[in-house]
A and B are shown apart, each in its own frame.
Chain A
């Protein structure tokens, strides 16, 4: 059963890549994403066994991935209608095939109970995403794709080396064979693994998957990739990919933590994660205020939120990991919604091509369309983490855990979060209420704006009125990974 949501997108990609008109492909893509979303709900009843075997964490983020893929694909129909002339039909086919490959690879990585399969999934997602960035075929897009390819390729190479070292570290506990690559078996026997080898492995894993999660100093590819690729695929759908890399890091961190607490020779993983997380938050705080292109700006914001999650995992303990996972969940919802709104806003101002996302170009959105403007402003406000945004809840948990466990990093964390929040809020007023560029006409809102509203409502609702089953699931997952 669990094989269907993972492999259906790959099969669909073959078909979408070969036939269909641009708009037809977009509609088929949305239909397929809907089916996959339903399937990610169905797998709760049949999580499978063996190589592809979803645990609570995989199931939860699988549903999130399915949901984001669905809303992105729905909004994508309007995007393709407006942007049809910019690419040749074969390139649109490739684009929709890549949407499905990214979806399938992300689900494969989330559901895989095997460190090798996880690596293959991340590699597949990276190749698909880089190809997508290069699609506009402009010089800047090719340059961004090349940067992504080289950095992503190095990251993937390092992650593979780390994966092999984990296998070698598991030899004393599990012996040769498949068991030494299964997360379930590894975490059950992590205490008996070779600690020093595991530490070495974790460094490679952290730098490998950290490149994919865009942690500073490995973040160089992300702002360019966000700014140059075809918007829906490289921005809205990129959240689940960052989550996949963060979850991979979290799982390996867990192995190391178990080894440490059961008397193994591994080094505690906390300091590594705290350093990279803090560096990401603070660097973003300083670079956000200097961005003039909205896609680059929110790309940096993704780096910040990856940093917050890594920081939470570094703090350790069930509550901090709960906070980190909740933060990833809510941030992905808000950010994807924001990008859908942003693409629409650029569409209202004439073009959704890269280069039409400057803040000066988008300002005074309220003069173009009120609904779009409010949702755009609301999404940016939500990202800042001030109440009533859902992110307030997760950041509050993380900060209170920091005060409790590692009080000396609270001050830099607070400073970083403050800098980022200020940079976010500074943009809300001009973007929503500022003077519009000349010749701006009021236009009707597009139907996909309701999706953005849905994202925002979900992000607030899940944080402040979390359904009991979700709370139970998230607590169990965080408790098992502490």
Chain B
């Protein structure tokens, strides 16, 4: 039991650390790498929970996470960065230090909200949930503090990792694999969406009549 605890906490901690470091990165390539590390850790956490709870469902979740989120999605994101030459630093909406301070505050809120309300739950679930909520909130903060669409997506991906972490920690929860697949569909659409947006901007075939329309008729 103690090994279950310490390993699960270690992996939760790495996830949280990656989520926090995302706030401090200005370059897309570094953000993608951090996301990838996070996804690998999440896959490991899913396998470990599957072993601890002896649930086949969780092994499946781990496999999906490993194949799609840790390998395929980062490949796609890197391809977008390479093809559209997005290697320069991303514009941020607020100073780095401020966003990191806010991040610390959010982690504090998550812990203060989750730990007292879950007194009756199993202790492993409680702490996993506090970490998961922190990762979710940090991901949302990344989304609000970046201006580029791709950086917002990486924030969203990190949020989603937090959600899956919460799901695998729930005792005997059905549909965990199905949830992660459903989420992945959304993520895939997001990545493809940003790819298409970029194509339009890059090749300058943007249909500007729409913008003129909006300006003419007002919002």
- Residues in chain A within 8 A of chain B (CB atoms): 116, 119-120, 123-124, 127, 130-131, 134, 136-142, 145-146, 149-150, 153-154, 156-157, 160-161, 164, 167-168, 171-172, 176-178, 181, 194, 196-197, 199-200, 223, 228, 291-293, 296, 354-355, 358
Q: Are B185 and A127 in contact (CB under 8 A)?
A: yes
Given A123-B186, A292-B217: A160 and B163 interface contact (C-beta under 8 Å): yes
- State A358–B116 Cα separation when bound (angstroms): 53
Given A116-B175, A167-B173: A196 and B206 interface contact (C-beta under 8 Å): no
Give the chain A neighbours of B159 by CB distance below 8 A.
154, 157
CB contacts under 8 Å to A, within B113-134, are: 113-114, 116-118, 120-121, 125, 129, 132-133
Q: Closest CB of chain B to A401's CB: distance in Å? A: 32
Q: Which of A130, A137, A150 contacts B207 (CB 8 A)?
A: A137
Q: Which of B179, B186, B211, B218 contacts A140 (CB 8 A)?
A: B211
Q: Are B149 and A146 in contact (CB under 8 A)?
A: yes
Q: Are B136 and A157 in contact (CB under 8 A)?
A: yes
Leading 10 A-B pairs by shortest Cβ distance: A176-B172, A138-B210, A355-B213, A140-B210, A196-B117, A139-B210, A116-B175, A358-B217, A292-B218, A138-B207
CB contacts under 8 Å to A, within B180-201, are: 182-183, 185-186, 189-190, 193, 197, 200
16 A-B contact pairs sorted by A residue (CB < 8 Å): A119-B182, A120-B179, A123-B183, A123-B186, A127-B189, A130-B189, A140-B213, A142-B197, A142-B200, A153-B186, A154-B140, A160-B179, A196-B117, A197-B121, A200-B117, A291-B219
Q: Closest CB of chain A to B211's CB: distance in Å? A: 5
Q: Closest CB of chain A to B98's CB: distance in Å? A: 21
Given A154-B143, A200-B113: A161 and B133 interface contact (C-beta under 8 Å): yes
Is B3's CB within 8 Å of the partner chain A?
Answer: no
Q: Closest CB of chain B to A354's CB: distance in Å? A: 7
Give the chain A neighbours of B114 by CB distance below 8 A.
200
Q: Are B163 and A131 in contact (CB under 8 A)?
A: no
Give the chain B neighbours of A120 by CB distance below 8 A.
178-179, 182
Give the chain B neighbours of A172 by CB distance below 8 A.
120
Number of A-B contacts (CB under 8 A): 125
Give the chain B neighbours of A136 by CB distance below 8 A.
210
Q: Are B217 and A168 in contact (CB under 8 A)?
A: no
- State A197–B114 Cα separation when bound (angstroms): 8
- State A67–B178 Cα separation when bound (angstroms): 31
Is B214's CB within 8 Å of the partner chain A?
Answer: yes
Q: Are B143 and A168 in contact (CB under 8 A)?
A: no
Q: Which of B197, B210, B217, B218 contacts A146 (CB 8 A)?
A: B197
Give the chain A neighbours of B219 by CB distance below 8 A.
223, 291, 293, 296
Q: Are A168 and B125 in contact (CB under 8 A)?
A: yes
Per-residue A-contact encoding for B44-65, CB less than 8 Å = 1, 0 else: 0000000000000000000000
Q: Which of B170, B206, B208, B216 contacts A168 (CB 8 A)?
A: B170
Q: Are A197 and B217 in contact (CB under 8 A)?
A: no
Per-residue A-contact encoding for B142-165, CB less than 8 Å = 1, 0 else: 010000010010001001100100
